[in-house]
Amino acid sequence: MPTTLTPPRPAAAATTVTEPGRLFNAEDFAVAELEPSAIWDRIITVAVREQASDVHLTCQATGVHVAVRVDGRLCPQGVLPTDLGQRLSNHVKVLARLDLGERRRPQDGHAGLELDGRPIDLRISILPTNHGEAVAVRIFDREAGLLELEQLGFTPSQLGEVRNLIESPAGLVLVSGATGAGKTTTLYALLQRLASDDRKIVTVENPVEYDLPKIDQSQVNAKLGLDFATLLRSVLRQDPNVIMIGEVRDAETADAVVRAANSGRLVFATTHAVHSAAAIESLIALGAHPHFVARSFRGAIAQTLVRRLCPYCTVPLAETDDAAVLDDIRRWLGPGERPVLSMGRGCPHCRHTGYRGRTGVFEVLTATEPLRGMISRGAPSRAVYEAAAADGMMTIAQAAKLAALRGLTTIEELMQGVSEIWTGTL
């Protein structure tokens, strides 16, 4: 049963904190002589409300360091006295029904809570370190984590291409990007759009992050010997119309994915490739035959996440005439659209960072006959990529610049967080 939290809203504490990234002062909790359970409730409540993805309690020589990850950035929230470390990790272990007596081996578990009337899942990892136990908690908030296709950050023309891709009755659609680039969110949005009573959709995931209605989700389990390849063999016997495979990293999975996509199924697969065309090459490098990859290939989506300017404190700057930014993307600006950069001044809504939430930045490569021909002949991915870009594909670098010129993010964010994208050297 999930626990229901009813701690006081720590809004008063939050408003007194002005250091960028700070949600609360952990020191205040110790000064107030709160019990570990009350401290934990305050930390997790603020973290969930501020849409943090993770909470970290780390025992170091100086005390228990509290940090939260918000919008991909780890933000320190203060240090608690050392003697609270074990009591706090014990409390979290109890929540996750872990072994209190085990302090030498890592442990993993789950806990649930209900906050503001909605269920929150917590994935908990305990790691013994030289100063005590490090507690890492991943927050799964269904309301914040499941988005519609239209909310992800595709440009209108990319959205049209994506809709065409998922309307294919069969074939292969690849989604690529680094870990934490939002691939799962994109795949869940695509699958939710396809979910219907007359379509059997089966997934192989590691792990299943959210339950999706009308979709059969299976989870990799290394302890039981259930890897991607093994589960995929069973999935294919389930008579699916649509398959989603969380990761392709061995020859058997690559081969099975391409076979399924060539036998009347729509297959979504993810890879860690850096750009859309490299995703194709990664399948071929694993041993899939270029001809069969080319025959089934419908398209590829590459993505990353950038911080989004805070809607409460963003101000437009002067119109830019920077040719390095403009020349590349002028053709995608609407008639009369002025290329204006913006900045976030910082306010309580964005923890004085100027950014609130993140948006995806995408590249959508749609397969054409000439591109399929190149893939089939084993052309290098860079050549396929350049041919697609020459044919009008908006590259991820161009999409990122467009997002900055439309006031969604900043050039600084693109340069800091995703410098490869900015320079176009992906």
Give me the DSSP letters along 77-110: EEEE-TTHHHHHHHHHHHHTT--TT--SS-EEEE
Residue among 350 and 388 whose Cβ is closer to Zn ion: 350
- Does 313 bind Zn ion (CB under 5 A)? Our answer is yes
Count of residues binding Zn ion (CB under 5 A)?
6
- Does 149 bind Zn ion (CB under 5 A)? Our answer is no
Return the structure tokens found at 131: 């100063």
Distance, in Å, from the CA atom of 381 to the CA atom of 39, rounded to the nearest integer, reads 51
Cβ contact 355:308 at 8 Å: yes
Phi, psi of 4 (to 5 degrees): -105, 125
Question: Hunting for tokens 């008063």 — which residue is that?
Answer: 12
Q: Is the dihedral of CA 109, 113, 115, 119 positive or negative?
A: positive
Cβ contact 139:124 at 8 Å: no
Residue among 23 and 187 whose Cβ is closer to Zn ion: 23
- Does 315 bind Zn ion (CB under 5 A)? Our answer is no
- Does 70 bind Zn ion (CB under 5 A)? Our answer is no
Residue among 44 and 313 whose Cβ is closer to Zn ion: 313
Residue among 272 and 349 whose Cβ is closer to Zn ion: 349
- Does 311 bind Zn ion (CB under 5 A)? Our answer is no
Cβ contact 52:23 at 8 Å: yes
Q: Answer whether the bond into residue 207 is a cis peptide, omega within 30°.
A: yes
From the list 350, 364, 375, 414, which residue makes contact with Zn ion (rule: CB under 5 A)?
350
With H, G, I as helix, E, B as strand and everything else as coil, classify residue 55.
strand
Cβ contact 421:361 at 8 Å: yes
Find the length of the chain: 426
Q: Which residues pair with 216 in a beta bridge?
A: 202
Taking the complex as a whole, how short is the minimal distance between the CB of residue 139 and Zn ion, in angstroms? 22
- Does 309 bind Zn ion (CB under 5 A)? Our answer is no
**H or E element, residue 387:** helix 381-390
- Does 147 bind Zn ion (CB under 5 A)? Our answer is no
- Does 79 bind Zn ion (CB under 5 A)? Our answer is no
Residue among 298 and 352 whose Cβ is closer to Zn ion: 352
- Does 343 bind Zn ion (CB under 5 A)? Our answer is no
- Does 349 bind Zn ion (CB under 5 A)? Our answer is yes
Cβ contact 210:139 at 8 Å: no
Residue among 391 and 412 whose Cβ is closer to Zn ion: 412
Residue among 17 and 173 whose Cβ is closer to Zn ion: 17
Distance, in Å, from the CA atom of 215 to the CA atom of 192, rounded to the nearest integer, reads 8
- Does 347 bind Zn ion (CB under 5 A)? Our answer is yes
Distance, in Å, from the CA atom of 224 to the CA atom of 226, rounded to the nearest integer, reads 5
Residue among 26 and 310 whose Cβ is closer to Zn ion: 310
Amino acid making up residue 208 = V
Which range binds Zn ion by CB under 5 A, 313-321, 322-330, 375-383, 411-419?
313-321
Going from the C-alpha of 297 to that of each of 18, 50, 173, 288, the distances in angstroms are 51, 40, 7, 12
- Does 98 bind Zn ion (CB under 5 A)? Our answer is no
Residue among 313 and 389 whose Cβ is closer to Zn ion: 313
- Does 18 bind Zn ion (CB under 5 A)? Our answer is no
Going from the C-alpha of 279 to that of each of 300, 341, 346, 379, the distances in angstroms are 7, 32, 38, 13
Residue among 251 and 312 whose Cβ is closer to Zn ion: 312
- Does 87 bind Zn ion (CB under 5 A)? Our answer is no
- Does 73 bind Zn ion (CB under 5 A)? Our answer is no
Taking the complex as a whole, how short is the minimal distance between the CB of residue 48 and Zn ion, in angstroms? 20
Distance, in Å, from the CA atom of 51 to the CA atom of 250, rounded to the nearest integer, reads 35
Question: Hunting for tokens 């209900």 — which residue is that?
Answer: 114
Which range binds Zn ion by CB under 5 A, 75-83, 220-228, 247-255, 345-353?
345-353
List all residues 6 or more positions away from 214 whose beta carbon is below 8 Å from its beta carbon. 195, 196, 197, 201
Taking the complex as a whole, how short is the minimal distance between the CB of residue 155 and Zn ion, in angstroms? 24
Which range binds Zn ion by CB under 5 A, 30-38, 271-279, 294-302, 349-357?
349-357
Residue among 25 and 314 whose Cβ is closer to Zn ion: 314
From the list 261, 310, 364, 418, which residue makes contact with Zn ion (rule: CB under 5 A)?
310
Site string for Zn ion, 213-252 (x = CB under 5 A): ----------------------------------------
Taking the complex as a whole, how short is the minimal distance between the CB of residue 313 and Zn ion, in angstroms? 3
Nearest residue to Zn ion by CB is 310
* Residues within the interface to Zn ion (CB under 5 A): 310, 312-313, 347, 349-350
